[in-house]
């Protein structure tokens, strides 16, 4: 009996690890900057009470705020890098917590800014912006500020809410420390008795492998570990929800959903329409489960069969080849765009590529305006990992172009548009592969990746969105939810989604909510479903050669937060205020199911 081993991060060739020294040359340099920023907070507070002095004071204050936040963002980016690749690194965890605290202190020090602008009044600010070129770029910020005026409190309350950012964020850290650092999952046991270690990074590879016994034991052991801690995990998640409900009441919103969507100026109907459209189109998913069951030749499709390969062999795609394929798929966006992607992956070391001990599960893109747009993932040399890389590169290119074209004030963007950029990359690369590949096995692998992508973003995420809304509404009513309540709700939602096509192990399926740290970012998951809808519409527009489509998309990426997200997507060429993009995504999904059914017979 043999056991596969996973390397430590320090044992991986540096060219496959992200370029942390490009951010700070050493931990000591990071520490020195941390001390310096903390000392400079006093200078920022010196502007409090002075904005009414005139345009000069306002210009100086906003410059100081932007400069200090850029430094904090950079500190935060570096602090998270070592922790992400080794959650057992106590020094890295301490730096991460210190950066989080400093961010909260900076937010508190700048909390005077919005209340003082509101006190000045919109007519005065509009006049200053028109008369002083240094302030002209604040136009959208001022518009957004007065739109949200009813929910901005006094300077004292805003300062308190800023200070609460640190303790409020600890629930997500607790979940990560428990699931990523402390959990020790049982070994998966393959059909031949071989043991395979199960980690957050390695689970996906096992579940997408051909050995059903390995899949079963990996999935059951993974879920059972979460179930063994269900009460702690439920209490922690409910604490996060309680914090959000507290903030909702402090800011005088009618509901947490309204508060979440008020910030990015998205109509509440967009969320509810997504759920309604999803439920209406569930028969497409029910048909897919039957196609998959027949293709696998199993009597009952189990949850651990959803990622099982339909092809006998899965093409190997080394990292460098994946980068080349992604670049080919993105060619319609122009040479400059493609070369930036290629250089980031192969030269500038944006990506921390391979699995290692203690590495966080999943994948993400992160960074700051003064860093590279870094990517953490666990690449496993196959089409699914290539798709994940394409997805995260979509985020990174969105960040890269935003940081190059926007001031710090607009250097971020909402999750609503972020998931469009990431899914757009996947849609472009997938369409390129389906159009150019001739090998049936490769085509089948590409279709499997497509269905896996849609399964995650267009089945799992809308299901989690329903769960999340129900949990928040229960807390708003003062009822709350226990671990068993959450498990029962999740199991019911999956039963509806599976429609009898997949066996529902109610306890193990019901604990799915605990495996998604996304739920600690309130009302985040629905963005994946709206994002994949907009992405497929925009990819079709670009690939079909619609005049100006590529330039429109690049303008969207460069906009950052200088536009409301719905308006930014209109610049790109899609209107998310209508249900049409969601319906169109289901049409694409139905076409993929048709093509898969014909290919597997």
- Indicate the pLDDT class of residue 241, thresholds 50, 70 and 90: very high
pLDDT of residue 13: 96
* Known catalytic membership, residue 392: yes
Q: For 441-467, give the DSSP string.
A: HHHHHHHHHHHHHHHIIIIIHHHHHHH
User: For 10-31, how does the pLDDT look when each residue is reduced to its tens digit (9 = 90+)?
Assistant: 999 999 999 999 999 999 999 9
User: For 395-409, how does the pLDDT look when each residue is reduced to its tens digit (9 = 90+)?
Assistant: 999 999 999 999 999
- Indicate the pLDDT class of residue 1, thresholds 50, 70 and 90: very low
Assess whether pLDDT exceeds 70 at residue 3: no
In three-state secondary structure terms, 477 is coil
User: For 294-338, how does the pLDDT look when each residue is reduced to its tens digit (9 = 90+)?
Assistant: 999 999 999 999 999 898 777 889 999 999 999 999 999 999 999
Q: Can you list the alpha helix ranges (DSSP code H) found in 456-502? A: 461-476, 483-498
Selected catalytic residue, list 220, 382, 392, 468: 392
Two tokens, residue 516: 């998604």
Name 366's bridge partners: 374
Strand 374-376 versus strand 351-352 pairing type: parallel
In three-state secondary structure terms, 376 is strand
pLDDT of residue 202: 87
pLDDT of residue 4: 56
Mean per-residue pLDDT of the chain = 94
Assess whether pLDDT exceeds 60 at residue 2: no
Q: 396: closest CA among 450, 351, 429, 359?
A: 351
Q: 517: closest CA among 343, 303, 361, 336?
A: 361
Stretch 385-398: mean pLDDT: 96
Two tokens, residue 27: 């931990």
User: For 344-358, how does the pLDDT look when each residue is reduced to its tens digit (9 = 90+)?
Assistant: 999 999 999 999 999
In three-state secondary structure terms, 193 is coil
Angle of the 55-85 helix axis to the 90-109 helix axis, nearest 10: 160
Q: Which CATH architecture has domain 9-168?
A: Up-down Bundle (1.20)
Looking at the chain, the whole-number percentage of residues with pLDDT higher than 90 is 82
**439 phi-psi bin (left φ>0, alpha ψ -120 to 50, beta other):** beta
**Domain assignments of the chain as residue spans, ordered by start:** 9-168
Two tokens, residue 132: 């002083």
For residue 59, the tally of other CB atoms under 10 A from its CB is: 16
Q: Which residues contact 213 (CB under 8 A, 6 or more apart)?
A: 189, 190, 191
Assess whether pLDDT exceeds 70 at residue 529: yes
Stretch 117-133: mean pLDDT: 96
Q: Please give the distance of CA 530 from its chain centroid, rounded to a whole number.
A: 13
pLDDT of residue 50: 96
Q: Please give the distance of CA 386 from its chain centroid, rounded to a whole number.
A: 17
Are 550 and 539 in contact, with CB atoms under 8 Å apart?
Answer: no
- Indicate the pLDDT class of residue 192, thresholds 50, 70 and 90: very high
- Indicate the pLDDT class of residue 155, thresholds 50, 70 and 90: confident
At 351, which helix (H) or strand (E)? strand 351-352
Residue 441, CA distances (Å) to 310, 453, 582 in order = 9, 18, 30
At 226, which helix (H) or strand (E)? helix 212-227
In three-state secondary structure terms, 352 is strand
Are 389 and 375 in contact, with CB atoms under 8 Å apart?
Answer: yes
User: For 86-120, how does the pLDDT look when each residue is reduced to its tens digit (9 = 90+)?
Assistant: 988 899 999 999 999 999 999 999 999 998 999 99
Distance CA 275, CA 398 (A): 27
Strand 195-196 versus strand 188-189 pairing type: antiparallel
39-43 long-range contacts, Cβ below 8 Å, gap at least 24?
40/68, 41/68, 41/105, 41/106, 41/109
Name residue, tokens 């996947």.
Answer: 426
Are 525 and 461 in contact, with CB atoms under 8 Å apart?
Answer: yes
Distance CA 465, CA 278 (A): 11
Stretch 356-377: mean pLDDT: 94
**367 phi-psi bin (left φ>0, alpha ψ -120 to 50, beta other):** left
E-state strands within 161-273: 188-189, 195-196
Name residue, tokens 């919005």.
Answer: 114
For residue 380, the tally of other CB atoms under 10 A from its CB is: 21
Q: Which residues contact 568 (CB under 8 A, 6 or more apart)?
A: 413, 417, 556, 559
Strand 374-376 versus strand 364-366 pairing type: antiparallel
Assess whether pLDDT exceeds 90 at residue 240: yes
For residue 304, the tally of other CB atoms under 10 A from its CB is: 22
């Amino acid at each position: 009996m043999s056991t596969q081993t996973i390397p430590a991060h320090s044992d991986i060739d540096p060219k496959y690890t992200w370029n942390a020294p490009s951010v700070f040359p050493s931990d000591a340099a990071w520490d020195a900057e941390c001390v310096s920023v903390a000392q400079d907070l006093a200078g920022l507070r010196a502007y409090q009470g002075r904005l009414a002095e005139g345009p000069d004071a306002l210009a100086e204050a906003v410059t100081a705020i932007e400069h200090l936040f850029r430094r904090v963002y950079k500190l935060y980016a570096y602090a998270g890098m070592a922790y992400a690749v080794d959650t057992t690194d106590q020094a890295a965890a301490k730096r991460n917590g210190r950066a989080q605290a400093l961010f909260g202190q900076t937010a508190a020090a700048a909390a005077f800014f919005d209340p003082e602008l509101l006190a000045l009044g919109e007519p005065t600010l509009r006049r200053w912006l028109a008369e002083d070129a240094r302030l002209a770029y604040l136009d959208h910020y001022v518009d957004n500020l007065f739109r949200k005026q009813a929910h901005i409190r006094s300077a004292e309350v805003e300062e308190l809410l800023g200070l609460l950012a640190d303790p409020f964020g600890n629930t997500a850290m607790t979940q990560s420390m428990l699931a990523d650092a402390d959990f020790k999952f049982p070994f998966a046991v393959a059909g031949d008795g071989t043991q395979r270690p199960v980690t957050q990074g390695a689970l996906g590879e096992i579940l997408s492998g051909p050995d059903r016994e390995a899949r079963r034991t990996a999935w059951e052991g993974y879920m059972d570990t979460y179930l063994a801690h269900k009460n702690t995990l439920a209490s922690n998640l409910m604490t996060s929800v309680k914090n959000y409900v507290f903030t909702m009441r402090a800011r005088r919103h009618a509901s947490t959903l309204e508060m979440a969507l008020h910030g990015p100026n998205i109509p509440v109907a967009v969320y509810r329409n997504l759920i309604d459209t999803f439920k209406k189109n569930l028969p497409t998913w029910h048909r897919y489960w039957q196609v998959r069951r027949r293709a696998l030749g199993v009597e009952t499709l189990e949850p651990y069969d959803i990622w099982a390969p339909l092809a006998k062999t899965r093409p190997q795609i080394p990292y460098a080849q994946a980068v080349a394929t992604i670049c080919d798929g993105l060619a319609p966006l122009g040479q400059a765009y493609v070369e930036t992607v290629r250089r980031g992956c192969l030269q500038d070391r944006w990506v921390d590529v391979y699995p290692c001990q203690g590495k966080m599960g999943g994948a993400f893109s992160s960074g700051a305006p003064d860093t590279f747009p870094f990517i953490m993932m666990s690449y496993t040399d196959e089409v699914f990992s290539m798709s994940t890389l394409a997805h995260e590169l979509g985020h990174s290119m969105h960040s890269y172009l935003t940081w190059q074209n926007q001031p710090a004030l607009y250097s971020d963007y909402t999750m609503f548009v972020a998931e469009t950029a990431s899914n757009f990359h996947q849609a472009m690369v997938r369409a390129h592969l389906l159009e150019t590949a001739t090998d049936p096995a490769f085509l089948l692998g590409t279709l499997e990746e497509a269905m896996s992508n849609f399964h995650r973003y267009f089945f799992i995420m809308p299901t989690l969105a329903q769960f999340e809304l129900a949990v928040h509404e229960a807390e708003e009513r003062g009822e709350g939810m226990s671990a068993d309540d959450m498990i029962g709700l999740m199991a019911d939602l999956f039963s509806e989604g599976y429609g009898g096509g997949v066996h529902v192990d109610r306890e193990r399926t019901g604990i799915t909510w605990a495996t998604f740290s996304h739920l600690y970012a309130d009302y985040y998951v629905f963005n994946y479903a709206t994002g994949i809808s907009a992405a497929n519409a925009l990819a079709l527009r670009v690939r079909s050669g619609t005049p100006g489509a590529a330039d429109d998309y690049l303008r969207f990426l460069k906009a950052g937060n200088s536009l409301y997200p719905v308006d930014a997507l209109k610049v790109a060429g899609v209107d998310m205020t209508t249900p049409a993009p969601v319906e169109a995504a289901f049409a694409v999904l139905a076409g993929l199911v048709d093509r898969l059914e014909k290919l597997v017979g």
